[in-house]
Structure 1
Amino acid sequence: MDKLVIEGGVPLSGTIRIHGAKNAALPILAASILADGAVTIRNVPRLLDIQVMLDILQDLGCRTAFRGGTVTVDGSGASSSHVPESLMRRMRSSVFLMGPLLARFGEVQVYQPGGCAIGERKIDLHLRGLEALGANIEATGNRIVCRSGRLRGAEIILDFPSVGATENIMMAAVLAEGRTTIVGAAREPEIQDLQRFLNEMGAIVRGAGTDTIVIEGVSSLSGCDFEVIPDRIVTGTVMVAAAATKGEVTLTGAQPGHLTSLIHVLRRAGVQIQVENDIMKVRATDRPRAVPRVVTSPYPAFPTDLQAQMMILLALADGVSVIKETIFEGRFKHAEELCRMGADIRLDLNTAFIRGVPRLYGTTVEATDLRAGAALVIAGLAAEGRTVIEQVHHIDRGYDRIEDMFSRLGGRIARHQETDKANIAALR
C-alpha cells in the first residue's frame, strides 16, 4: 500500500501549471457515448477515477485510448447498457452514465455508486429527473434499472442544485424529443463545460451557469475535439498550500473567475493574491489571520471540496475561526487527524470551531477521503518534522501524482511502499 512521506517546514516556491478538471472530464467522458463518431478530449488528468471511467466505457464496448493527457473515445461499437457493479463501487461518478446510456439504448442498469465516505449522497434527484423525461424505474436492493422509448422533454424542478443530477438530466435530454427545462439547476463551471462539449457535438443547450438550463432535443450527435477546463479544486489546493507554508507560488493555466469565493477568504486571512488573466500569484509571509466564519454552499459560494484544505490554514491562524459545512454531514473526518498533529479544533454537528496554533507537528495520519487527504498533505508540508500519510489511493482519485506537483514547488515529499526504504532515506 502506497504512503506519502513529507518532511515539512519548507516554504513552497516556484511556478506550476494546473491540470484539467476531474469533475469536468468525468461527465464529458460519460457523454462521449452519445456521439455517433469518435471524440477527442484534451487536458484530461491521469487519475484513478478517470481510469475507472475508461474501464467502464471499454466494458460497454467503446474503444478508448489515453496518451499524453488526450483521450479518444469511439462509442460506435458500444453494445451494452449494463454498468458492472464491481466498477460502480469504485467510483461515485459512474452514475453519470445513467443519462447518456438511457438516451442511447432506451435502457440502463446500474448499481448504487461508490466513492468517498463523506456522508449520505442520494441519487433520488437523478432518478426523478430521468423519470420526468419518460423513464420507468425499477429499484431492487442496490440495483437500478431504467427503461424508456424515446425520451420526451419536460420541465424538471430540482429541490437542490445537485451537480450530478443537473448533468445527468442534461445528457439524457439532448436526445429527447422536444424541449427540456431544468429549474433550480446547479451553476458550477463543470456544468458550463459539459454544455460546451454537448454543443460541440451538435446539441442545443443554453443557460449553464444560471439556475435555469434549456435543452432542445436533437436526433443525433457527432464526434468533436474538445479541451477540458483547468481544475479549480486543484488550483485552490495549491493556493492554500502556498499560504500555509508561507511560500510564494505562481499558478498558470488557471481560471481565477472560478475561485472568487476562495480568493476572498484567503485575502481576509492576509494572503496576498495577484490575478492576471490565467495567472495567479500567491504569497504569504506572515502568520494567517483567523476568519470568523466560512460557510460551504453550492457554487458560486465557498466550495465544500476546499473546506478541508482551508481548515489547515485556519488551524495555523492567529485567532478563532469557524467553518460551517452545509453540503455533506460527514466531511469533518480530517479534523481528528489534524488534531493529532497539534491542531485545536472542536466539532459541533456540522460546525468546526478552530483555535489557531503557532505550529503543527508531523505524525502518521490517514487520508479518509479525497479532499481530506489533500488537506493532510498541506498540513504535512507546513508542519515541523515528518508526516506519513496512509490510504493514499483516496488522494489519487483527484490529484495527478500530488507528490510530483508539490516536489516541483520545493516540497520535500515522496511516495513509497511499506518495503521501500530508499525514498524515506532520500528525505533525510
Structure 2
Amino acid sequence: MDRIRIVGGNRINGRIPISGAKNAALPLMIASLLTDDTLTLENVPHLADVEQLIRILGNHGVDYSVNGRRERQIEGYSRTVNFTARSIVDTTAPYELVSKMRASFWVIGPLLARMGEAKVSLPGGCAIGTRPVDLFLEGLQALGARIDVENGYVIAKTNGRLTGNRYIFPKVSVGATHVLMMAASLAKGETVLENAAREPEIVNLADCLNAMGARISGAGTSTIVIDGVDSLSGARHQVIPDRIETGTYAMAVAMAGGDVILEGARADLLQGALDVIAQTGTEIIPVNSGIRVRRNGSGIMPVDVTTEPFPGFPTDLQAQFMGLMTMAEGKSRITETIFENRFMHVQELARLGARITLAGQTAIVDGVPRLKGAPVMATDLRASVSLVIAGLAAEGETVVNRVYHLDRGFERLEEKLSGCGATIERLSS
C-alpha cells in the first residue's frame, strides 16, 4: 500500500494547475445515461473515483474513449472523455460496485427516467457519518416512481415516463438535487425543486443538461424549474475547476509560506472559503491565469469557522482548515454542521503535536508554535490531505499511510507540491 513521505519546513513557490472538479465530473458522467448520443466531457480529472465510475457505467452499457481512443495511462493532467450509452444493457447497479463509491447510487435517476426501472444497491462510501438516501427516494416518488427496498437494494419502477411535480427538500442535499434534476429532465411536464442545493457543481450539471436539450432554469438558486422533454441529445461540455482542490492548495501555501499561482482556479466558486483564508493573514489575489496565494512568513491568525452549504464554508475544506489552524497564533473554533462524524483526523493531527479539543460538533484548536513529523494514518479523503498540509510545516519527516484516499480526489498531489519546492514523495510498497 502506497504512502506519502513529507519533510516539512520548505516554503512553496511556483505554479500549481487546478484539475477538473471530481464533484462536478461524477454527475456529468452519470448524465450520459440519459441519451443514446455521445456526451463529450472536457477537463475530466484522472482520479480513482472517476475510474471506478467508468467501470460502473460500463456495467450499464456505457462505452467510453479518452481523447478518441481507449487508454489507461494518460500523460498530463485532466482529459477529454467521450461517453456513449447507445443502449442500456443492465438497469442493476450491484453492491460490489456501488459499495465502493457513494456517488454511484446516483445512476438511479437517469436509469429510471430513461428505462422506467432501476435496481441499485444502497451505497457505501468513506466513513464520515451517515448520509441517508431518503431524500433521493422521496423525490423520485414525488415524480411518480414506485420504490421498494429489498435485500439491500432500492428497486424503482414507473409506468411509462416520470411525471413532473413540486418537491421541497426537507434539508439541502447536493446529491439528491443532482439526481432529481437529471430524472426530471425526461419527465412529463414541469418539476419545481425547492430548497435545492446551490453549489457550483449543480450549475455545471444544469448547463450540461441544457446543452443536451433539457429545459432547466434557476440552477444556482434554491428554486430550480425543469420543463421535461421527450429525449436528450449528446453535447460537449467542460468540467469546472475543482474548488476544493483550489482551497486545499491555498491552505497549503498559508501553512508552509510562499507564493503560488493556482492556474485555472476560479475565485467565484469558493469566495466564502477564500475570505476565511484571507483572515489568517494570507494574501488572496485574483489574476488573469487564476488565483495568486501568498504568505510572507508572518504568523497565521486564528479564525473561527462553521461549515455551511454553498455559498458558505464547504465541509470538504473543514479538515484542511483544521490542519492550518494547528499552528495559528491563538485559539480557533471549527464547527461542522453538515456531517456528524467528520473529525476523524483530530487524533492523527494530535500525533504531530496539535492541541485539539472536541465539544460536540465543534473542534477547539489551540495553535502551537511547532509541529513534529510522525507516521499518521489517513481515514478519509479530506482528512488525508489535512495531514499533508500539517506535514508541510512540521519539523522532520511525516509519513501518511493509506494514501489511496488521496487518489480518490487529488490528481497528482505530490507532483504538484514537489514542483513548487515541497519535499514530498510517494513511497510504493
In structure 2, give the amino acid aligned to 1:290: P
Question: Is residue 2:110 matched to residue 1:91?
Answer: no
Counterpart CA distance in 2 for 1:204 and 1:115 is 32
Q: Which moved more, 1:261-270 or 1:204-213?
A: 261-270
The CA distance in 1 between the partners of 2:381 and 2:291, in whole Å, is: 24
Helix, strand or coil: the match of 1:185? Answer: coil
Given residue 45 of structure 1, which amino acid in structure 2 is its aligned partner?
P
Q: Using the alignment, how far apart are the partners of 1:101 and 1:77 within structure 2?
A: 11
Partner secondary structure for residue 219 of structure 2 = coil
Match of 1:421 in 2: none
SS in 2 for 1:181: strand
Q: How does 1:66-215 map to 2 (within 5 A)?
A: 66-67=66-67, 69-149=79-159, 150-215=161-226
Distance 1:42 1:184 in 2: 30
Give the corresponding residue for 2:38. 38
- Aligned residue for 1:86, secondary structure, equals helix
- TM-score after normalising by structure 1: 0.96
TM superposition shift of 1:360: 1.0
In the alignment, the residues of structure 1 paired with residue 181 and residue 246 of structure 2 have an alpha-carbon distance, to the nearest angstrom, of 27
Query: C-alpha deviations, 1:236-281, integer Å up to 9, x for none?
Result: 0000000100111111211101111111111111111111355211
Return the letter of the residue paired with 1:81: T
Q: Which amino acid is 2:188 matched to? A: E
Counterpart of 1:384 in structure 2 is 395
How far apart in 2 are the matches of 1:231 and 1:388?
26
2:17–2:416: 8 Å Cα contact kept in structure 1? no
The alpha carbon displacement at 1:379 in A equals 1.1
Q: Contact (CA 8 Å) 1:365, 1:387: kept in 2 or not?
A: yes
Q: Separation in 1 of the partners of 2:183 and 2:216?
A: 12
The residue identity in structure 2 corresponding to 1:404 is E
Following superposition, the deviation at residue 66 of structure 1 comes to 2.8
Q: Distance in 1 between matches of 2:419 and 2:4?
A: 16
Give unpaired runs (5+ residues) of structure 2: 68-73
CA shift for structure 1 position 340: 0.6
Following the alignment from structure 1 to structure 2, what is the Cα–Cα distance between the partners of residues 52 and 375? 24
Give SS of 1:15's match.
strand
For residues 172-221 of structure 1, the C-alpha deviation after alignment (integer angstroms, 9 at most, x for no partner) is 00000000000000000000000000001000001010000000000000
The answer for the alignment partner of 2:70 in structure 1 is none
Question: For 1:305, which of 280, 300, 316 is the aligned residue?
Answer: 316
By how many angstroms is 1:116 displaced? 1.2
State the SS of the aligned residue for 1:43.
strand
Q: Distance in 2 between matches of 1:358 and 1:218?
A: 60
Is residue 2:17 matched to residue 1:5?
A: no
Q: CA deviation at 1:36?
A: 2.4
Partner of 1:242: 253
CA contact (8 A) 2:16 2:417 kept: no
CA positional deviation for 1:141: 3.6
CA distance in 1, matches of 2:258, 2:339: 31
2:227 is matched with 216
Q: Does the Cα contact within 8 Å between 2:108 and 2:118 map onto a contact in 1?
A: yes
> How much identity, in percent, do the aligned residues show?
48
Q: Which residue of 2 aligns with 1:61?
A: 61
Secondary structure at 1:134's aligned position in 2? coil
2:372 matches 1:361: yes
Answer whether contact 1:255 1:278 (CA < 8 A) is retained: no
Shift of 1:50: 0.3
How far does the alpha carbon of each residue in 1:327-365 deviate from its partner, in whole angstroms, 9 at most, with x for none? Answer: 001100101100110001001111000010011111000
| Matched position secondary structure for 1:346 | strand
Could you give the per-residue CA deviations for residues 34-83 of structure 1, whole angstroms, max 9, x where no partner exists? 12211110100000110111001111111112345111111003221101
> 1:115, CA displacement in angstroms?
1.5
The amino acid that maps onto 1:195 is A
Cα distance in 2 between the residues matched to 1:225 and 1:374: 32
Q: CA RMSD in A?
A: 1.0
In the alignment, which residue of structure 2 is the partner of 1:288? Answer: 300
* One-letter amino acid matched to 2:111: L
Q: Which amino acid aligns with 1:362?
A: G
Whole-Å separation in 1 of the counterparts to 2:357 and 2:64 = 47
**Aligned-partner Cα distance in 1 for 2:364–2:406:** 25
Report matched runs for 1:297-376 at 5 Å.
297-376=308-387
TM-score (norm 2): 0.96
Per-residue CA distance 1:70-108 (angstroms, 9 max, x = gap): 111110032211012111011011011110011011001
In structure 2, give the amino acid aligned to 1:126. F
SS of 2:61 mapped into structure 1: coil
Looking at structure 2, the residues matched to 284 and 400 of structure 1 have their Cα atoms a distance apart, in angstroms, of: 24
Asked if the contact 1:360/1:384 (under 8 Å) is kept, the reply is: yes
How many residues matched? 417
Could you say what secondary structure the match of 2:364 adopts?
strand
Q: What is the alpha-carbon distance in structure 1 between the residues aligned to residue 133 and residue 151 of structure 2?
A: 14
